[in-house]
Amino acid sequence: MFFIYPVTVSAQTFPVDAATGKIYYAEEVLVKDGPQLELYHRAKAWFAPIGKVKIVIKVDDLPNGVLIGQTYSPFSFTSPGKKQTYHLGYTLKLEIEDDRYWYSLTDFWLEPVIPLQAHSAKQVIGQQPLEIAVLPQKEKPVPNKVLAEAVQKTILAFIQNLKESLD
DSSP codes joined into one string, 65-115 = TEEEEEEEEEEEEESSSSEEEEEEEEEEEEEEETTEEEEEEEEEEEEEEEE
Query: Which range (36-50, 72-86, 132-146) has the least confidence?
Result: 132-146
Cα dihedral 76, 77, 83, 88 sign: negative
According to DSSP, residue 162 is labeled H
Q: What is the pLDDT of residue 5?
A: 36
| pLDDT above 70 for 19 | yes
Residue 9 CA: distances (Å) to CA of 56, 85, 89, 143: 34, 23, 23, 10
- Coil, helix or strand for 60? strand
Question: What is the value of pTM for the model shown?
Answer: 0.81
88-115 per-position pLDDT tens digit: 999 999 999 999 999 999 999 999 887 6
* Residue 106 · residue 22 · CB < 8 Å: yes
Mean pLDDT (the chain, rounded): 83
* Residue 43 · residue 94 · CB < 8 Å: yes
Q: What is the pLDDT of residue 8?
A: 38
Provide the residue type at 150 as one letter: A
| pLDDT above 50 for 46 | yes
* Residue 164 · residue 151 · CB < 8 Å: no
User: 11-20, 37-46, 75-84 — which one is most confidently predicted on average?
Assistant: 37-46
